[in-house]
Structure 1
Amino acid sequence: MSYTTDEMMTVAAARALRDGSACFVGIGQPSAAANLARRTHAPDLVLVYESGTLGAKPDRLPLSIGDGILAETADAVVSVPEIFNYWLQPGRIDVGFLGGAQIDRFGNINTTVIGGYAEPKVRLPGAGGAPEIATSCREVFVVMRHNPRAFVAAVDFVTSLGYGRDGEQRDALRPLGKGPTRVMTDLGVLEPDPDTHELTLTALNPGVEVEQVRAATGWELRLAEEITVQDPPTETELSTLRALKEAS
């Protein structure tokens, strides 16, 4: 079966989720990836949405975090403050998904402004719960389309902490979570170097060359010693993902 680059990115994100873990889910590709994982290799994945639903099991992709299907299929519905104060901030969530307008070589994410903060070129939606997800989830997966405007050497504003401006700030601040452990794009996968925390290309999507990823990255991209090529989506993964989208 043929597939799009976005479908490959969603499948890669789904494959990274472990059965039985608790996942803090956002709308869009993170929700598609989490629901795909739950319907394929991770049936006991616990989906937690910011609106207060724990263990949601929607039979279609929700249109927003306030979609009624999340509450209808959840194991429990709690208040938004409880989601953050009891579940997220104490480190009870295994994986959180994030995206953004910009990400830099140390995994810092910007969803606040493009340009200077006082007089920005573009004012973005802002932080929402992303800073808490970035610091409190045990690990963070980032899902973004790969291009030079999004993958920049240094973000214009640090909305959500990766490893800090110098790659060492996270260790100094010692938040609960490990930070971004995997960045999945429409070209491949980047992971932080264990010593410098700089994002490093570790895997390519099928049909993608290293030079394509380098050209789409706004810094001199480091390469892993061994770069793998991800398996293309299976027929089951594609048919399940498309069925979820068609039902929405």
Structure 2
Amino acid sequence: MIVSSEFTPTEMMTIAASRALTNDDVCFVGIGAPSAACNVARLTHAPDITLIYESGTIGTRPDVLPLSIGDGELCDTAQFTVSVPEMFRYWLQGGRITTGFLGGAQIDRFANLNTTVVGEYDHPKVRLPGGGGAPEIASNCGQIFITMALTNRGFVDHLDFITSMGHGEGGDHRARLGMKTKGPSRVITDLCILEPDPVTKELTVVSIHQGVSRKQIQDNCGWPIKFATDLIETPAPTDTELLVLRDINARTKKAHEAA
């Protein structure tokens, strides 16, 4: 029997992220941690959520987590599949997606994401996978949730390249650029949950996971991180949430090992 006090930081992050979703969401799902969180939500408290992947699969209900947006599991379990141009032009740019779930290699204090390069663009220290559809997702979904482990390498004071717009320079920067969507409204990490300040849009810790100290969070962030005055402790995962997450991870591992 699972004891709900026994869980890993990654499990806490995934489950905390899943709780942000509701039955009414139409969610554009990223591969990796976002996909795990969205499918835990579907298998627990939000069975009617509509999950959409970049390859054009709509209403997908995978039995195992996909390796990529081109994984056949997504098309096999979707209500229907459309072309990628239709996905982006009609569904995404048409304002029909309530929530986008993204991850990234780096993030700054205003929730801008970098998945392109570290260092100078022409002579980078690290060449990252690139943006794919993330820039359009960040701009056109009603709101954005981000899942990333909190580390000094990932949470940086300055981005060498902004792949996906968060809140830009802060404040009303999105509105000044003509963007009508909310942008990042929550960043879920393995140590805490952050939300943008209502005015400045700087990411602020609003919830700390069980057993985590403020110093741990400060030591793992590349800027002087701020804490909300009404800070709370993130509720621990329930037995049901852990069972569902571990079950889908076990099925995924078995399926991919057999491939």
In the superposition, the TM-score normalised over structure 2's length comes to 0.93
Letter of the aligned partner of 1:23 in structure 2? Answer: C
Pairing 1:86–2:86 present = no
Assess if the C-alpha contact under 8 Å between 1:152 and 1:219 holds in 2.
yes
> Structure 2 matches for 1:113-152, cutoff 5 A?
113-152=117-156
Range moving further from structure 2, 171-180 or 21-30: 171-180
Q: Which residue pairs with 1:36 in the alignment?
A: 40
Assess if the C-alpha contact under 8 Å between 1:97 and 1:140 holds in 2.
yes
Where does the alignment leave 5 or more consecutive residues of structure 2 unmatched?
Answer: 253-259
Count residues in correspondence.
248
Alpha-carbon displacement from aligned partner over 1:166-223 (angstroms, at most 9, x marks no partner) = 5442121121321000000000001000000000010001110111111111111111
Assess if the C-alpha contact under 8 Å between 2:170 and 2:202 holds in 1.
no
Q: Which residue pairs with 2:256 in the alignment?
A: none
> Structure 2 matches for 1:1-248, cutoff 5 A?
1=3, 2-248=6-252
- Taking the aligned partners of 1:66 and 1:119, their CA distance within structure 2 comes to 31
Assess if the C-alpha contact under 8 Å between 2:117 and 2:160 holds in 1.
yes
- Taking the aligned partners of 1:176 and 1:76, their CA distance within structure 2 comes to 29
- Taking the aligned partners of 2:95 and 2:237, their CA distance within structure 1 comes to 32
Letter of the aligned partner of 1:114 in structure 2? Answer: V
Aligned-pair RMSD on alpha carbons? Answer: 1.0
2:160 counterpart SS class: coil
2:74 counterpart SS class: helix
The Cα of 1:134 is off from its aligned counterpart by: 0.6
Where does the alignment leave 5 or more consecutive residues of structure 1 unmatched?
Answer: none
- Taking the aligned partners of 1:166 and 1:8, their CA distance within structure 2 comes to 29
Assess if the C-alpha contact under 8 Å between 2:185 and 2:196 holds in 1.
yes
Letter of the aligned partner of 1:175 in structure 2? Answer: M
Letter of the aligned partner of 1:243 in structure 2? Answer: D
The Cα of 1:118 is off from its aligned counterpart by: 2.2
Assess if the C-alpha contact under 8 Å between 2:30 and 2:103 holds in 1.
no
List, as ranges, runs of 4+ consecutive aligned residues in structure 1 with deviation greater than 4 Å: none
Assess if the C-alpha contact under 8 Å between 2:116 and 2:127 holds in 1.
yes
Alpha-carbon displacement from aligned partner over 1:225-245 (angstroms, at most 9, x marks no partner) = 111101111110011111111
- Taking the aligned partners of 2:12 and 2:196, their CA distance within structure 1 comes to 21
> Percent identity at matched positions?
56
The Cα of 1:82 is off from its aligned counterpart by: 0.7
Assess if the C-alpha contact under 8 Å between 1:114 and 1:124 holds in 2.
yes
- Taking the aligned partners of 2:108 and 2:55, their CA distance within structure 1 comes to 29
- Taking the aligned partners of 2:99 and 2:181, their CA distance within structure 1 comes to 9
In the superposition, the TM-score normalised over structure 1's length comes to 0.97
